[in-house]
């Protein structure tokens, strides 16, 4: 079916509940398929781009989570789309962009004043968790926009701890060079070195240990 025929058929829909239900399904299918054409048709019809899915997830969050980058970019270009909607786990679109390494989209979110800092789990925690090479640029971006480097999760874990357990070795080095405190402990009494050792990441543990030693005052004979 040609685009003009799709448009005619869509505009012929009434506002009956059945039509809305169909549009609702089409909306989340468009996100899953990264289909900006279908999303545009829905938007022209007046469909609310902030509509939540049955699990309470915002469209922008879903697009970032599922790799629908064209749809995410489209949504971010619409001024009525909320960039700071939080789900039941208090996750924001920026947190998902940070976790998935969507650097260009993270920059756009920050331009639209998405919160870089927040209580509990923060975007920097999520960025530090990503093991990919691109996580270095993401962490650097967040730090440039004043992300709190020793942000504490609900159990007291810091971005450095998350990087030590899951993240890229260069992120560990970047956080340490940027002033992350390697001596902090979470509620279980674990330090970043403990996190690295739990994951059998001996080289990462050694990097953190070297940073700890560098903080110690030089002794005198």
Q: Which residues pair with 3 in a beta bridge?
A: none
As a whole number, mean pLDDT of residues 173-177 equals: 98
| DSSP letter string, 114-180 | --S--SSS-HHHHHHH--STTHHHHHHHHHHTT--TT---TTS--HHHHHHHTS-HHHHHHHHHTT-
* Rounded Cα–Cα distance for residues 173 and 140 (Å): 11
- The larger pLDDT score, comparing residue 31 to residue 9, is at 31
Name the residue among 99, 90, 70 with its Cα closest to residue 171: 99
The pLDDT, as a whole number, for residue 216 is 78
Q: Residue 47 corresponds to which tokens in the numbers above? A: 């469909």
Q: Which residues pair with 58 in a beta bridge?
A: 52
Encode pLDDT of 44-82 as tens digits: 999 999 999 999 999 999 999 999 999 999 999 999 999
The pLDDT of residue 12 is above 70 = no
Superfamily covering domain 116-221: Ankyrin repeat-containing domain (1.25.40.20)
* Rounded Cα–Cα distance for residues 199 and 196 (Å): 5
* Rounded Cα–Cα distance for residues 32 and 28 (Å): 6
The pLDDT, as a whole number, for residue 84 is 95
Bin 34: left if φ > 0, else alpha if -120 < ψ < 50, else beta: left
As a whole number, mean pLDDT of residues 192-207 equals: 97
Question: Which residues of the chain does CATH 1.25.40.20 include?
Answer: 116-221
**pLDDT, mean over the chain:** 91
The pLDDT of residue 1 is above 80 = no
With 0-12 CB in 10 A as exposed, 13-18 as middle and 19+ as buried, what is 68? Answer: buried
CATH of the domain spanning 1-89? 1.25.40
As a whole number, mean pLDDT of residues 97-109 equals: 98
- What confidence tier does 4 reach under pLDDT thresholds 50, 70, 90? very low
Count of CB atoms situated within 10 Å of the CB of 16: 9
């Amino acid at each position: 079916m040609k685009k003009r025929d799709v448009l005619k058929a869509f505009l012929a829909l009434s506002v009956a509940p059945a039509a809305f239900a169909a549009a609702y399904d089409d909306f989340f299918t468009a996100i899953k398929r990264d289909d900006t054409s279908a999303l545009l048709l829905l938007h022209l019809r007046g469909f609310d781009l902030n509509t939540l899915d049955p699990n309470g997830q915002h469209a922008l969050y879903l697009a970032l989570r599922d790799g629908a980058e064209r749809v995410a970019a489209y949504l971010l270009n619409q001024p009525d789309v909320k960039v700071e909607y939080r789900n039941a786990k208090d996750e924001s679109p920026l947190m998902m962009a940070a976790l998935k390494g969507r650097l260009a989209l993270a920059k756009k979110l920050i331009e639209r004043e998405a919160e870089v800092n927040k209580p509990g789990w923060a975007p920097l925690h999520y960025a530090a968790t990503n093991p990919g090479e691109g996580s270095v640029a993401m962490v650097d971006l967040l730090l440039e926009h004043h992300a709190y480097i020793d942000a504490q999760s609900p159990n007291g874990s810091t971005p450095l701890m998350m990087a030590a357990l899951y993240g890229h070795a260069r992120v560990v080095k970047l956080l340490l060079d940027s002033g992350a405190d390697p001596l902090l402990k979470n509620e279980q009494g674990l330090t970043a070195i403990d996190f690295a050792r739990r994951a059998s990441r001996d080289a990462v543990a050694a990097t953190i240990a070297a940073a700890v030693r560098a903080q110690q005052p030089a002794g005198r004979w």
